[in-house]
Chains A and B, each alone.
Chain A
Amino acid sequence: MSVSELEQDIEPRLATRPSFNVRDFLQLLVLRILIPVVILLVLWQMIASMTGITLVDVVNAILRLTLEGDSEGIYLIQHIFASVGRVTLGFLIAALTAIPLGIIIGRYRLADSILGPVVEAMRPIPPIAWIPLSLLMFQGNVIGTQSFIIWVGAFFPILINTTTGVKRTEPVHIDSAKTLGANERQILGKIVLPSAGPEIFAGLRIGFGIGWMCLVAAEMLRGRDGLGYLIWTYWAVGRTAEVISGMLLIGLIGFLITFAFLLVEKYLLRWRQSVSV
């Protein structure tokens, strides 16, 4: 096929590419952004009014914390960075431990039979129940204690999803690879991991979400910064607007991180669409 023939082949396809549609854009804007935002505002106004304040108080609290800081002079952005840093650390440790372990449990029957019951016995223990023990295990190590609580929250969803993903690998694909002379490393790298990719990503997303939820408990233990600390401290002095500010920010940041995860997942696993097509 010559270049001119290729151009002739491509041009009609380019011509049929969907053009910018104002109506679709407006529909997207209203359905995906405006209505959810209005519902959220109404919901939070209801919650705020039940505690005797208004959203205006919450906005004022956010502005005050942003511009003036808290009673210790720590600004809102510093609280946010502290929390994101803690959750990221706990989450990364969870991912680095859960994914390899999940692959081992999912791939090797012996490991599954030995470790499977252990995991199932540990999994139902809620992260918050680990707080007293974590304080004793990491005596004086505040980062260790907080990361551990977040790790417990994030670890099991990643582990279970990885295990499930690996177990779901089509045996025919593995057998074909073996027939073609692939070794175990190649099977893991070329067949098992790509096949388990969607589940692993789903596990990472859920794990980060649960790790983020454990933040308030982790920051209640000790410290002087973080959104969880902010919530507890201001609850203790009865400043509900600041408490709601912290909650709103935890929700917003959690949403943004989940959205970022989805984008990364969509990009890295774009082959899924081509496969399904």
Chain B
Amino acid sequence: MELQIVERNQAIGLTVIVIVVASLGVIAVWNPPPTPDVRIGYLTKDLHQLALRVAVENGLFEREGINVQLEEFGNGGYVMDGFLAGEIDMGYLGAAPALVKSLNQDIMITILAAVNMEGSAIMVKKSEYDAGHVTTIADLVGKTVLHPGPATVQNFLLRLALNQSGLSLANVTAESAIPAAMADSLTASTPAFVVWEPFNGLAEYEEKAVPLALSGEIWPRHPCCVVASDNTFMANNPEIVQKVIDIHAEAETWIIANPAEAIAIAVDWLEMDLTPVTTSFNNIIFDYNLNRTGIEMYLDFLIHEDFIITAKIPSDTTVFLDSFLNTTFVDNLLLCC
């Protein structure tokens, strides 16, 4: 008798589960999520890409009637892998991974606008600076300097800074490191690092490091993050691409016009205190106009340092950049407004 009751209860339980699961399935099939107009990749909590966050927070995509699917990535290399895998249509990423990976892996993308310029710095351990051990770039000779990777803009900035002091990369030991761990890795023998914001502002705020040279002092208005589009998507959806670029430009302009509100959005997004965010914000130039000369200079560096597979080096870098950088959408923006 008891056994029968248990079996009956089990049968009822199973029936309920089947009904619930089947109902959920039917609901899912009848109410599929709306297909996005555009899938945009961006970097996790990267202050350089504040424009995208501002566009989302200010409802610019909704206002323009664009259904956007945002995909978050750990770094620019992953954004490029996202393009390669067909996961995203457009992306916010560094000019460095965009250039090097599109060439080496034949990833068909085009850079359409800048996101920011400058916004990096060579930082030195505060105690070493205060003690007078490292107060100039020349004081780095024989010491280890941390950087985010050999083919990054920051590595190039370090080389430039050393060259400007009559030195070369051979005079220091350059070691790759994770940006978030750089400030905590400083010692007397490893007194400096070069990285992008907000890591510099945070290190300064926490009194771990002080700026030795801002990237704007090393290479004024150097290129950094950019907006890129998949070539096929751009060819098939020029009106959506134009709208995204319009929104991007509007967000950039808004940031410049409303720095306090923009910083408030950044504080909320980065989950950091106001002071380091403000310091970092003030080291970044928010500008959607591409610095073609800077990108050309950086491409020459990549080729010279053997980062581009020999067979894939463009025979004419000017012709390559003519197609790789497309300012038509930004130009349309200027024409229309």
Q: How far is the CB of A224 from chain B (nearest CB, A)?
A: 5
Q: How many residues of B contact A (CB 8 A)?
A: 33
Judge if A156 is at the interface, Cβ distance under 8 Å: no
CB-defined contacts of A135 to chain B, threshold 8 Å: 178, 181, 184-185
Q: In the complex, A229 Cα to B105 Cα: how many Å?
A: 20
Confirm or deny: A181 has a beta carbon within 8 angstroms of a beta carbon on chain B: no
Residues of chain B contacted by A232 (CB below 8 angstroms): 176
A70: min CB distance to chain B, Å: 8
A1 at the interface (CB under 8 A from B): no
A139–B185 contact, CB under 8 A? Answer: yes
Interface: B325 (CB within 8 A) = no
Q: How many A residues face the partner with a CB closer than 8 A?
A: 22
The one of A224, A237, A239 in contact with B176, judged by C-beta atoms closer than 8 angstroms, is: A224
Not counting A71-B305, A222-B146, A237-B104, a sample of 12 additional A-B residue pairs whose C-beta atoms are within 8 angstroms of each other reads A72-B150, A135-B184, A139-B185, A221-B177, A221-B181, A224-B173, A233-B150, A236-B151, A237-B307, A238-B101, A238-B104, A238-B107
Verify if B216 is at the interface (C-beta below 8 Å from A).
Answer: no
A41–B77 Cα distance when bound, in Å, is 28
Residue of A nearest to B147 (CB): A224
Q: Does B106 contact A (CB under 8 A)?
A: yes
Contact A235 B77 (CB under 8 A): yes
Question: Does chain A have a CB within 8 A of B294?
Answer: no
Does residue A177 face the partner (Cβ distance < 8 Å to B)? Answer: no
One of A52, A139, A142 near B106 (C-beta < 8 A): A52
Q: Would you mind naming 29 contact pairs between A and B with Cβ atoms under 8 Å apart?
A: A71-B307, A72-B150, A135-B178, A135-B181, A139-B185, A140-B187, A140-B190, A220-B178, A221-B181, A222-B176, A222-B177, A223-B175, A224-B175, A229-B176, A232-B176, A233-B149, A233-B176, A235-B77, A236-B77, A236-B149, A237-B104, A237-B150, A237-B307, A238-B77, A238-B102, A238-B104, A238-B105, A239-B104, A240-B104
Residues in A with CB closer than 8 Å to B266 are none
A225-272: which have CB < 8 Å to B?
229, 232-233, 235-240
The complex places the Cα of A140 from the Cα of B189 at a distance, in Å, of 9
- Contact string, B88-132, partner A, CB cutoff 8 A, digits 1/0? 000000000100111111110000000000000000000000000
Nearest Cβ distance between residue A188 and chain B, in whole angstroms? 42
Which chain A residue has the least Cβ–Cβ distance from B125? Answer: A140
Please report the C-alpha to C-alpha distance between residue A237 and residue B309 in the assembled complex, in whole angstroms. Answer: 10
A residues contacting B by CB (< 8 A) are 52, 71-72, 135-136, 139-140, 142, 220-224, 229, 232-233, 235-240
B136-149 vs A, CB cutoff 8 Å, 1 = contact: the mask equals 00000000001001
Residues of A contacting B152 in the complex (Cβ-Cβ under 8 angstroms): 236
CA distance A233 to B177 in the complex (A): 11
Cα(A52)–Cα(B84), bound, Å: 11
Smallest CB–CB gap between A190 and chain B, Å? 48
Q: Give the interface centre of A72, A136, A236 by most chain B CB atoms within 10 Å.
A: A236
Cα–Cα distance between A224 and B172 once the two chains are bound (Å): 12
Is residue B251 contacting chain A, with contact meaning CB distance below 8 A?
Answer: no
In the bound assembly, the distance between CA atoms of A232 and B104 in angstroms comes to 15
Cα distance, A71 to B147, chains bound together (Å): 15
CB B50 to nearest CB in A, in angstroms, measures: 24
Tell me which residues across on chain A come within 8 A of B190, comparing CB atoms: 140
Contacting pair B104 A222 (CB below 8 A): no
Give the residue among A220, A221, A237, A239 with the most B Cβ atoms within 10 A: A237
Contact partner, A71, options B103, B104, B306, Cβ 8 Å: B306
Whole-angstrom distance from the CB of A47 to the nearest CB of chain B?
Answer: 15
B 71-96 contacts with A by CB, 8 A: 75, 77, 80
Shortest C-beta distance, B305 to chain A (Å), equals 5
Q: Within 8 Å CB of B173, what residues of A?
A: 224
Contact A239 to B309, CB < 8 A, known contacts A220-B178, A224-B175: yes
Residue of A nearest to B102 (CB): A238
When distances are taken between beta carbons in the complex, the residues of chain A under 8 Å from B177 are 221-222
